[in-house]
Amino acid sequence: MNQTLRQQVGQLIIMGFDGTSVAPSLDSVLQELQPAGVILFARNIESAQQTHALLSACRGTLTTTPFLGVDMEGGSVDRLKRFMGPAPSAASVFNAGNKSWFVQHGELIGTECSALGFNTDFAPTLDLALPNSRLVLGSRAVSPDPEQVAEYGRLFLEGLCKSGVLGCGKHFPGLGEATLDTHNELTSIEKSFSDMWQQDIAPFRILCGELPLIMVGHANYPTVTRDKLPASVSPVWITEILRNKIGYRGLIVSDDMEMGAVLAAGSVGEIAVAAVRAGANIVLVCRKEEMVRQAWEALLHEAERDSVFAGYVAEAAHQVLAFKNQARELKEFPSQFSLAAVEKQRQEIGKFVAQLEQEQQR
The pLDDT, as a whole number, for residue 2 is 65
The pLDDT, as a whole number, for residue 189 is 95
Could you say which of 18, 183, 195, 227 is catalytic?
183
Residue 13 has pLDDT above 70, yes or no: yes
Cα 245 from chain centroid?
Answer: 22
Mean pLDDT of the chain: 95
pLDDT cut 90: percent of the chain above it: 91
The pLDDT, as a whole number, for residue 301 is 98
Active-site residue flag, 171: no
The pLDDT, as a whole number, for residue 181 is 85
> 3-class DSSP state for residue 238?
helix
DSSP string, 169-216: EEEET--TT--S-TTTS--B----HHHHHHTTTHHHHHTTTT-SEEEE
Residue 261 has pLDDT above 80, yes or no: no
φ/ψ of residue 63, rounded to 5 = -85, -20
State the fold for domain 5-356: TIM Barrel (3.20.20)
Residue 149 has pLDDT above 90, yes or no: yes
Active-site residue flag, 145: no
Q: How confident is the model at residue 63 (pLDDT cuts 50, 70, 90)?
A: very high
Q: How confident is the model at residue 185 (pLDDT cuts 50, 70, 90)?
A: confident
Q: What is the mean pLDDT of residues 35-61?
A: 97
Residue 204 has pLDDT above 60, yes or no: yes
Q: What is the pTM of this model?
A: 0.96
Residue 1 has pLDDT above 70, yes or no: no
Q: How confident is the model at residue 75 (pLDDT cuts 50, 70, 90)?
A: very high
Question: pLDDT tens for residues 342-360?
Answer: 999 999 999 999 989 887 7
Cα 72 from chain centroid?
Answer: 10
Could you say which of 255, 256, 301, 318 is catalytic?
255
Q: What is the mean pLDDT of residues 129-137?
A: 94
